[in-house]
Amino acid sequence: MSRPPNEHSLLQRIPKEQLSSQQKALLPENVPLYRLLREPTALTEFDPNQQLAIWQENGTIFVWNCEDENEELFRGQDLHFTLLGFADIDCAIYGKNDIAIADTFTYFASLPHLGDTANKAVLQCICDDEIPFDFGCLQPEQLARILDSNPTRRIDLSAVISAEQARVLATRPYSLDLKFVGHDFAFLDQGTAFVEALEHRESTFGSLFIYCGEMEDSISSNNLERLLNLENMFEELQISSPNEECVLLPFLAKVDVLEYRLYARYMEPEEFLPLEIVARDLTLKFIIDGDDEWSMLSVLFWHRVAELGHFERLSFANLCRSEIDFDPHTYARQVAPVVAALIGAVNANPKLSCLDLSDDESHLHWGPFFQWVFEEVKDHPSLRTVLVRTYNHNSDEDDTGDEDEYFERRYCFHPSWLEKLLSNNRNIVVVDSSGNICTNGSTIDKAYALNDFYNSSLGLVNESCSVLRPLLVTSALTESRASTNVQYTGLLLSRHVDTLYVARALYRQTTGKMNESLPLLQRIPKEQLSSQQKALRKKSSPPLHTLFREPSSLTEFDSKTQLAIWRDNGTILVWNCDDENEELFRGRYLHFSFEGMIDVDCTIYGETDDAIAETFTYFVSLHQPADTAKAVLLCYCPSDSPLDLHNLQPAQLAHILDSNPARRIEISATINAEQAHVLATRPYPLDLKLVGQFVFLDRGTAFLDALEHRTTPFDHVVEEHEISAPNQASTLLPFSAKVNILHYRVLGWFLQPEDFTSLKIVAKNLSVKFFLDSNDDWTAVLVAFLNRVAELGHFERLSLSILFRGGMDYETDAYVNGVAPVVEALISAIHANPKLSCLNFSDDESHLHWGPFFQWIFEEIKDHPSLRTIVVQSYEPKNDSDEDEDESQDEDEEFERTHLFDPSWLIKLHSHNRNIVVVDMLGNKCTNGSTIDKAYALNEFYNGSLALVNESASLRTLLVATALTRSASINFQFTALLLSQYADTMCELCMV
């Protein structure tokens, strides 16, 4: 008997006696069958260690953790796929037809699929000859849903791809990580649709792997050539096994990163001589047979690499497809010329930072030759990482015995060769294919530690501050490993001996302690400017400074002073950057601003986007305090800006947000999926404005996916939502947003009056700015909107503003006749919303001037039960008053010029409703300085005295007596107001 599920259960077992004939036809005996009780939130809800068979209503069974021995027990058509990332899960779907299987595959493959810190999420779908499923039954919209659900996941496909499916793959609005693998991959149209779609693509595709096969079944030679000619399309391109006709084409691919596997038999050694190779990061793997001229081919490849000289990363392997007779003497003679050519190529590429010889399938064993290689490359200026191969050793041997023997068995070279390299070049690290440092656990560890200390101390040389460097060197000598190790001391002083004299003087001056009042900045003398610093500046640029110490807050910088601050990553921050000074610097740049306690425009200039992003992260992560004005960070990247925020890594963006969680962030830039996920998942309420030319690179999918899984309020996208001018099809959607506060700038010319008939508006606090065409029937649209506000009747705050496209002639009858029905509808809407407490007409951009209609409005709403605040427009008064006129007349005229209505209308409102206050957009009370101030004072006294009603009878009598004798006694109106509420106390006072 199956246990009853709780409300949170994902699965329920179907009792055996309840199995249908359709289920029994697919299911093996003694295999339990489950059904879903609810929608899974992610694939991680399924136990990776449990095998499950799950029934779907379309007549299919989804098998989670499908084992090889159980595959033949299930019946029907089937599709197999694998999920990698948080676990390695083999899955299968069984059913009677491919359409239903495709539907189930779409459902499960579209669930959120997470990787972990070490492994990327991967979906592998292999449709080989043994799998009867027709991949063509997967509809284009289903494939798009699978891709869009997890845009950062890698997709591995081995199947026949239709033209429609190929277009979907080539046109995703984000970077894709796609692999076409195996002998069973083929484009049904030989790749035409895929390549045509790529040729029209405007953004980068991402990473692509194509297994070409030796025939043209997968992709035609013509289409492969067209694909390889695409410029700036691929972040990484991997090509495997093209036919002989195309063997040279991948070398010419216009990409930075190229991995290429080719058959050695298709190439003649001399073909390398004139070959152009565009990629800077190149991985080459020859697939060789026993009779191939692999040695000569490898030598000429390395010779060509040496001639080109532009490579930054190189990886090489020879992969044997058949057995090769191994003769140690012959092998050594064959490999030696390859090693010599490799050494020549490394030294001829001065920017080479990584050499990868770690492929464990390679026929070439480099280990015995590393003494030669290490000796020859020890002085390379840029080489930082060498990857070497590891070998399986006998696990029965004592690994804890002789460290050097264990090292030699594992890496096939003697550890002393590596020690000598590390002592000659302190920048190089030798690791295995997993990134683990190659070490014997003792002497090599000490060599690495020594080099780490040396490289860390080199950073002190870059400190231009003449005071800070001696302090840091002194601290290193007395408090670090240098204080107890002569090697460390020698290394440190070899670079900083000049600081000893300065350190001694500074110690005497400060008694060995850092002066807490050290200045923040130090100016770099003009004659000490480096060529890199000069390259970014022009002659008239402001002087360049460096940071003497870490700022504690942005307020340490003078908001009125312009500064140019140099950073060691090769960037310049210009603090208080003026428009006229922008042309004083060169290079790529990023503009941003701070508002609040400090109002400052800033620009960062540099040669690389990564460095600019790093400097941006540093400065905007400093504490930005707030006062009465909220702290704001504005980052605007217009379409003509040379730099966007793509190079800002998710971790950097998170650091920026977390450093000032209460700050408002305004972004006008293109935001990628990873950045969107960071914005949506902060563990605190965020005040975020996406404005101007802002665009989600994935059209908002990642942002909304993250919000849907958020368990706490986002704040100003959920509690308060501000939306500006969507397209015509989406014009009505924001009104239905499930938020309390909604600010909406709506393009009214897309609307018809009947659109408001049944419109649902959820927000209680609604601010709407209509953009209308003065030539359209704008009155009908506004009246229809206000009628709907009246029908709904739940609003607590209402703000209304109208802007006319092309402006409005206020002298025309069309304007006057058009406003009157709007005012009438507004009055009805106010009365129909009994909880309305605030009415806002204060937008200074509004073309509709409410002032002349306030006599009508005030008269009609004077008895509203809840209205407390009316916010009105203010206009810049003209200084043309006649000084000879009396003061009261001047006050009234200035009031009318400022607010466009007569102050007597407001006085009358205050005499009828003592709860209402009329203010401008800054919250200042609207007053003429005399009569209106008295009305406000009278109302405040009245409202203050109302609290006495809640006091006990005896205390109330005493309080009223005090008010009559000490405050209201000098003003008849105050006395009358007080007694109108407390006449009953007079009898008690007389008795007292």
Q: Taking Cα atoms as reference points, which of 382, 405, 386 lies closest to residue 394?
A: 405
- Which pLDDT score is estimated for 542? 75
Q: What are phi and psi of 574, to 5 degrees?
A: -105, 110
- Which pLDDT score is estimated for 483? 45
Residue 325 pLDDT > 80: no
The tokens of 429 are what? 């690290």
pLDDT digits over 944-956, tens only?
555 545 545 555 5
CA distance 921 to 851: 14
Angle in degrees, 0-180, between the axes of helices 415-424 and 403-411, rounded to the nearest 10: 90
CA distance 91 to 70: 12
- Which pLDDT score is estimated for 344? 95
793 vs 693 pLDDT, higher one: 793
Distances (CA, A) of 602 to 536, 581, 617: 16, 11, 13
Which distant-in-sequence residues (6+ apart) come within 8 Å of 992 by Cβ? Answer: 957
Mean pLDDT of 432-452: 87
- Long-range contacts formed by 699-703: CB under 8 A, 24+ apart: 699/173, 700/676, 701/148, 701/151, 701/673, 702/151, 702/673, 702/674, 702/676, 702/677, 703/671, 703/676, 703/677, 703/679
**Chain position carrying tokens 């006649």:** 882
Helix (H) or strand (E) holding 22: helix 21-26
CA distance 683 to 677: 12
Residue 321 pLDDT > 80: no
CA distance 301 to 281: 15
Give the percent of the chain with pLDDT over 90. Answer: 35
Instruction: Assess contact for 194 and 222: CB atoms under 8 A.
Output: no
How confident is residue 223, by pLDDT bands cut at 50, 70 and 90? very high
- Which pLDDT score is estimated for 654? 92
- Which pLDDT score is estimated for 465? 46
Judged on CB neighbours under 10 Å (0-12, 13-18, 19+), 584 is: middle
Residue 464 pLDDT > 60: no
pLDDT digits over 239-263, tens only?
998 888 889 999 999 999 999 999 9
Report angle CA 944, 945, 951 to the nearest 5 degrees.
Answer: 115
pLDDT digits over 547-564, tens only?
878 888 888 888 888 888
Angle in degrees, 0-180, between the axes of helices 953-966 and 984-991, rounded to the nearest 10: 90
- Which pLDDT score is estimated for 915? 87
The tokens of 911 are what? 């005499």
**Chain position carrying tokens 């007080």:** 978
Of 414-423, 538-547, 710-719, which has the strongest mean pLDDT? 414-423
Other CB atoms within 10 Å distance of the CB of residue 583: 10
Distances (CA, A) of 972 to 95, 341, 907, 911, 947: 92, 108, 18, 15, 21
Q: What are phi and psi of 636, to 5 degrees?
A: -115, 120
- Which pLDDT score is estimated for 1? 44
CA distance 644 to 638: 8
- pLDDT, the chain, mean: 81
Q: Taking Cα atoms as reference points, which of 499, 445, 443 lies closest to residue 468?
A: 499
Mean pLDDT of 97-112: 95
Single-letter amino acid, residue 181: V
The tokens of 562 are what? 């312009």
- Which pLDDT score is estimated for 975? 53
How confident is residue 482, by pLDDT bands cut at 50, 70 and 90? very low
Q: Which residues of 116-155 are buried (b: 16+ CB within 10 A; e: fewer)?
A: eeeeebbbbbbbeeebebbbbbbbeebbbebbbbbbbbbb
- Which pLDDT score is estimated for 512? 38
Give the HSE-up count for residue 722: Cα atoms under 13 Å, Cβ half-sphere. Answer: 10
Single-letter amino acid, residue 870: I
- Which pLDDT score is estimated for 832? 94
Cα 8 from chain centre? 32
- Which pLDDT score is estimated for 828? 94
Q: Domain-by-domain residue ranges, the chain?
A: 455-510, 519-709, 951-991
CA distance 408 to 412: 5
Residue 475 pLDDT > 90: no
Mean pLDDT of 297-320: 94
Judged on CB neighbours under 10 Å (0-12, 13-18, 19+), 726 is: middle
- Which pLDDT score is estimated for 103? 96
How confident is residue 486, by pLDDT bands cut at 50, 70 and 90? low
Residue 474 pLDDT > 50: yes
How confident is residue 507, by pLDDT bands cut at 50, 70 and 90? very low
DSSP assigned state of 437: B
Mean pLDDT of 766-789: 87
Q: Taking Cα atoms as reference points, which of 759, 768, 828 lies closest to residue 797?
A: 768
Instruction: Assess contact for 668 and 691: CB atoms under 8 A.
Output: yes
- Which pLDDT score is estimated for 383? 96
- Long-range contacts formed by 573-576: CB under 8 A, 24+ apart: 573/602, 573/603, 573/604, 573/615, 573/619, 574/542, 574/602, 574/603, 574/604, 574/605, 575/600, 575/602, 576/600, 576/601, 576/602
**Chain position carrying tokens 């040729």:** 199
Residue 704 pLDDT > 60: yes
Helices H / strands E in the chain, number of each: 30, 37
CA distance 389 to 434: 10
Residue 874 pLDDT > 90: no
Distances (CA, A) of 584 to 305, 433, 541, 568, 799: 41, 47, 5, 20, 44
- Which pLDDT score is estimated for 137? 93
Report angle CA 537, 543, 547 to the nearest 5 degrees.
Answer: 105
Mean pLDDT of 699-728: 71
455 vs 113 pLDDT, higher one: 113
- Which pLDDT score is estimated for 513? 41
pLDDT digits over 568-623, tens only?
888 888 888 876 655 667 778 888 999 887 889 888 888 888 899 999 999 999 99
Report angle CA 621, 625, 630 to the nearest 5 degrees.
Answer: 105
Other CB atoms within 10 Å distance of the CB of residue 362: 17
Residue 51 pLDDT > 60: yes
Distances (CA, A) of 458 to 321, 481, 816: 48, 15, 76
Helices (H), 88-162: 98-109, 140-149
Q: What are phi and psi of 341, to 5 degrees?
A: -65, -40
How confident is residue 477, by pLDDT bands cut at 50, 70 and 90? low
Give the percent of the chain with pLDDT over 70. Answer: 78
Other CB atoms within 10 Å distance of the CB of residue 80: 19
Please tell me the least confidently modeled range out of 86-100, 265-279, 518-532, 846-860.
518-532
- Which pLDDT score is estimated for 238? 95
Other CB atoms within 10 Å distance of the CB of residue 539: 6
Mean pLDDT of 486-500: 53
The tokens of 484 are what? 């107890």
Instruction: Assess contact for 10 and 41: CB atoms under 8 A.
Output: no
- Which pLDDT score is estimated for 490? 56
Mean pLDDT of 199-216: 87
Cα 104 from chain centre? 32
- Which pLDDT score is estimated for 416? 93
**Chain position carrying tokens 């807050």:** 553
How confident is residue 132, by pLDDT bands cut at 50, 70 and 90? confident
Q: Which residues of 657-696 are buried (b: 16+ CB within 10 A; e: fewer)?
A: beebeebbbbbbbbbbbbbbbbbbebeebbbbbbebebbb
- By DSSP bridging, strand 797-805 and strand 521-523 are unpaired
